[in-house]
Amino acid sequence: MMNQLPDEERMVIDLVKSIVRKEIAPRAATIDELEEFPWDVVTRLATQGLFGIFIPAEYNGSPTSFRTFLFVVEELASACASTAVIYGTQANCVSPILGSGTEEIKQKYLPDLASGRKIGALAITEPEAGSDAGSIRTTAVRKGDRYILNGTKCFITSGNVAGTILTYARTGGPGPKGISAFVVENEFPGFSVGKVEKKLGIRGSTTAELIFKDCEVPLENRLGEEGDGFGIMVRGLTKSRFTVGAISLGIARGAFEAAVRYANERKQFGKRILEFQGMQFMFADMATKIEAARSLVYRGGALVDAEEHEYAVLASMAKLFASDIAVEVASMAVQAFGGYGFIRDYPVERSYRDAKITQIFEGTNQIQRMIIGRHFIE
């Protein structure tokens, strides 16, 4: 698939591969161990213009295809899932602003997001609204030329470091039709960060509680009209499910490649363990499933680039299949390492922990199965 990309986009991938190999992979274990946001890595990606590849040139971006963006995400995730999640979340914040923001909003926020001067976050989930995003309780009451937001968001990726937070709140009655979308700055009066979570995996990608207590948001920071928020949310999540698919694919590929190297070196009973048929069968299954996941993810990227609009079911399929494969492949990679796979000195232990969240965020895999299944009701 790389050969199908223009030369300038292949150059982007080559640049990312070099950064990952020389700078991110050697830091990945430390990023995980410290459980801190990797500002040095983010700054490195930003100075190379990589945060701008999903932003048009008129907003200081350096746009490429969506498929190239997915290649970058996969490559980052193959070495450090935390970095890939941070990078993908930035795009998730940008996409709704591009699709539904006024020109004034785009000019105000996109250049800083493109340069990495500001980190973006997406504030949807609440204590009582996870998979059921249409039941969010955070309120936004209009008072003159501003909205007053009150409520709490939880499990917000990059929430404690983000300067630009795309926030969904209720401006009307119950249900999806009462939801609107707002661009919130972390310096707005009434905004604060609560608990920063301790997590099983993706520990360098911070996850925080956000508190809105009479938070003042200018009227012009609403995206679309009142009540448009749920539609904006769904469009954004549909596209971002391919991103999760790419993250999953990268985790699986990284674990597989580590296991291949190990199985070609480790000897038992006088033979390299990959010479045993039982191990070959396991590696054959891993490789085949990774390729199947890759086909789903990058077919989705091609549809987005072609500006096809009917890809919601494929997005759910890509997210569902790739994330399930990430967990399965990471588990088998640990098994291939044997006892060493359970030790933090080896990367597959981290891959195993990182993989699990891909089955949960951007809509659990149970939700994805519901979306896919309902498509066939006549």
| Domain identity same for 363 and 248 | yes
pLDDT at 4 over 90: no
CATH number at 262 reads 1.20.140.10
For residues 97-118, average pLDDT: 97
| Domain identity same for 339 and 258 | yes
The residue type at 32 = D
The tally of domains found in the chain comes to: 3
| Domain identity same for 79 and 133 | no
How many Cβ atoms sit within 10 Å of the Cβ of residue 260?
16
Residue 308 pLDDT? 86
CATH number at 194 reads 2.40.110.10
| Domain identity same for 370 and 269 | yes
| Domain identity same for 88 and 164 | no
Q: Which domain holds residue 255?
A: 231-374
| Domain identity same for 149 and 278 | no
| Domain identity same for 168 and 111 | no
pLDDT at 6 over 90: no
Residue 8 pLDDT? 86
Last residue of a domain, one of 115, 144, 167: 115
Last residue of a domain, one of 115, 143, 177: 115
| Domain identity same for 261 and 343 | yes
Question: Bridge-partner residues for 166, per DSSP?
Answer: 122, 183
pTM above 0.85, yes or no: yes
For residues 48 and 307, what is the distance between their CA atoms, to the nearest angstrom?
Answer: 27
The residue annotated as part of the active site, out of 9, 128, 362, 378, is 362
Residue 105 pLDDT? 98
Helix (H, G, I), strand (E, B) or coil at 171: coil
Alpha helices in 128-216 (DSSP H): none
pLDDT tens column, 150-171? 999 999 999 999 999 999 999 9
Q: Shortest CA distance to 169 belongs to which of 141, 194, 189?
A: 141
| Domain identity same for 13 and 104 | yes
Task: Enter the tokens of residue 252.
Answer: 């699986």
| Domain identity same for 257 and 324 | yes
| Domain identity same for 316 and 298 | yes
pLDDT tens column, 266-312? 999 999 999 999 999 999 999 999 999 999 999 999 999 998 888 99
For residues 107 and 112, what is the distance between their CA atoms, to the nearest angstrom?
Answer: 9
The residue type at 4 = Q
Instruction: Tell me if residue 328 is catalytic.
Output: no
